[in-house]
Amino acid sequence: MTISLWRYSHLALAVSSFLFIALASVTGIILSFKPVAEKIEPYKSKDFNRLNVAQLIPTLQKSYTDIADVTIDANQFVIVNGTDSNEESGNFYVDPKTGKSFGKVAKENEFFRWTTTLHRSLFLHELGRLFVGITAFLLFLIATSGTVLIIQRQRSLKKFFGKIVKDGFAQYYHVVLGRLLLIPIIIISLSGTYLSLQRFGIIKEDKIIHKIDFDALKTVPAKPISDFEVFKNIPLSDLQSIEFPFSEDVEDYFTLKLTDSEITVNQITGEIITQQPYSKATIFNNLSMDLHTGRGSAIWAIVLAIASANILFFIYSGFVIWWKRSRNGIKNKYKFDQAEYILLVGSENGSTFRFANAIQQQLLKNG
């Protein structure tokens, strides 16, 4: 009875969501190539991991007359939003060691942008995002119920990765690949669910507000940026972005977003004005985005592509399993009190019913 409950739950969840899951899987496969394509671009400096903020800012200020902000993306590419010595403005990929520009940041590929919108919202705006969020959660439930079915099939959790009897292509590889890709699929579904909950405000991020006492800001001792101790202690690998001050007044300051917090720094003395750690919701949101999209990691993006492709196979093989099981079902027009012989049959995937059906037909034929 318990096995039937989990099996029917697994089937019901799959049938009710397979169209959305298939669409999300196809678009997910396509989008997994985006971080791979970005990763092979030649915009990362070989000296990136040896540099800090105190070295970065003076170098950039020599090459750019006006800088609004600096961003380091998931691939550790340094992007400057400013005006160069040729009076050309825009976003530039730069070498953080020399300040040399690698070229302007190109617009996002239209095909990837279209696919991203389809993947996130089905072009239905917030309603579509709701459908996608529910689909992600249903995928998690499907993976969970499938895990329980494998444990019951193997008779023990300890034998989860034990040998599986090969009883048909679809059934065998449905289980084998399900075991191998269980963790990536759970990560995809949970991270997608979390991002949807955050999007709809069910999980709220605390916005950072810096409360600054401008009367307490000091202008002495003035130091060059290269001597700011706080900047010396921040490697580029811990930096997400720098917002530059608008003017040279002490009331304007540097704002740095780090991996775990956000700080403001006096542009004259180099003192930390405020420091605010990120909330757990923000940290989990960034982690979920990395895990769900594969940004910054070509290897993980490939794993996501393989997992998404296998979800499509699970839809196909699951349909084949259901079709064979329903086709092998016994249709009996005789009631219990009319029977002289009663055949008790047990079968995991329905194949045994074919033999039971043959015996029944032979008995009926012999009268």
pLDDT in tens, 265-321: 999 999 999 999 999 999 999 999 999 999 999 999 999 999 999 999 999 999 998
Q: Dump pLDDT digits (tens) for 5-58.
A: 888 899 999 999 999 999 999 999 999 999 999 999 999 999 999 999 999 999
Q: Dump pLDDT digits (tens) for 320-348.
A: 988 887 776 666 777 777 777 777 776 66
For residue 268, the model assigns a pLDDT of: 98
Q: Dump pLDDT digits (tens) for 135-174.
A: 999 999 999 999 998 888 888 888 888 888 787 889 899 9
Mean pLDDT of 177-181: 94
Looking from the CA of 207 toward its CB, the CA atoms found within 13 Å total 3
For residue 216, the model assigns a pLDDT of: 94
**169, 178, 185: which is closest to 21 by C-alpha?**
185
For residue 155, the model assigns a pLDDT of: 81
Give the span between the Cα atoms of 250 and 94, in whole angstroms: 28
- What is the phi/psi pair of residue 16, to 5°? -75, -15
For residue 19, the model assigns a pLDDT of: 97
Chain center to CA of 85: 39
Write the CB contacts of 339 (distance below 8 Å, at least 6 apart in sequence).
Answer: none
- What is the phi/psi pair of residue 331, to 5°? -100, 110
Give the span between the Cα atoms of 262 and 30, in whole angstroms: 34
Helix pair angle (182-199, 280-293), 10° resolution = 130
- Residue 187 pLDDT greater than 70, yes or no: yes
For residue 367, the model assigns a pLDDT of: 64
Determine the residue type at 302. Answer: I
- Residue 232 pLDDT greater than 70, yes or no: yes
- Residue 249 pLDDT greater than 70, yes or no: yes
Looking from the CA of 13 toward its CB, the CA atoms found within 13 Å total 20
- Residue 86 pLDDT greater than 90, yes or no: no
- Residue 364 pLDDT greater than 90, yes or no: no
Mean pLDDT of 121-139: 97
- Residue 362 pLDDT greater than 90, yes or no: no
How confident is the prediction for the chain on average, in pLDDT?
Answer: 92
Which stretch, 81-90, 178-187, 344-353, has highest mean pLDDT? Answer: 178-187
- Residue 2 pLDDT greater than 60, yes or no: no
- Helix runs in 155-277, H state only: 169-180, 182-199, 229-232
Which residue did the predictor score with more confidence, 356 or 56?
56
For residue 347, the model assigns a pLDDT of: 64
